[in-house]
Amino acid sequence: MPTDPERERHRLMDVYSRMADGEIEEIAEDEASLTGVARQVLRDEIARRGLAHLLSDQDKSQDEAANATEPEPMVTIRSFGDVMQAWLAKSNLESSAIECHLVDDNMVRLHWGIVNVLGGVKLQVKREDAEVALELLEQPVPEQPDEDNP
């Protein structure tokens, strides 16, 4: 019969809370042999006791990544009715080292009829890059490349 993860979590919390620091340290040394639930409960117990030195470097980096602040929200600077136009604009900004991404491009590619419902394919950039990005998008695209200048 499969074990209920929440019940197992509570059981392990009780077991680990009754152990001495030395016993917790022994278990932490062989952490790879634990189940995912047991590993997480052990990490929680280690953190609760202030024994962070027992965590492996990988665990510490995972904990730091989890505590990192959320990325800054991006703003929509333009919407496109055509996915190809959106991809070209995105490519133009990326070639100028402006971080950007498209929203709803996959939905429009899969179901092109809903482009108007979604408000088009949206091109988003960081707020501080918005002005420069709009200026770049306003520049005219040459109709034909200059073949004389490589």
DSSP letters for 49-100: HT-GGGS-HHHHHHHHHHHSPPPPPEEEEEEESSHHHHHHHHHHHHHTT--E
Per-residue pLDDT tens digits for 8-51: 888 888 988 888 888 888 888 877 777 888 888 888 888 887 87
In a domain, 79, yes or no: yes
> Are residues 62 and 111 located together in one domain of the fold?
no
**Domain limits for position 119:** 74-138
> Are residues 14 and 57 located together in one domain of the fold?
yes
Query: pTM to 2 decimals?
Result: 0.50
First to last CA, the chain: 71
Per-residue pLDDT tens digits for 51-91: 777 665 445 445 454 555 556 789 999 999 999 999 999 99
pLDDT band at residue 146 under the 50/70/90 scheme: low
pLDDT band at residue 136 under the 50/70/90 scheme: very high
pLDDT at 26: 83
Residue whose structure tokens are 């900004």: 93
The secondary structure element, H or E, covering residue 141 is: none
In a domain, 14, yes or no: yes
Residue whose structure tokens are 């950007």: 100
> Are residues 43 and 78 located together in one domain of the fold?
no
> Between 3 and 32, whose confidence is greater?
32
In a domain, 87, yes or no: yes
> Are residues 24 and 61 located together in one domain of the fold?
yes
C-alpha dihedral, 44 to 47 to 51 to 56, nearest 10°: 70
Number of compact structural domains in the chain: 2
In a domain, 116, yes or no: yes
In a domain, 149, yes or no: no
> Are residues 13 and 61 located together in one domain of the fold?
yes
> Between 116 and 122, whose confidence is greater?
122
Q: Is 9 helix (H, G, I), strand (E, B) or coil?
A: helix
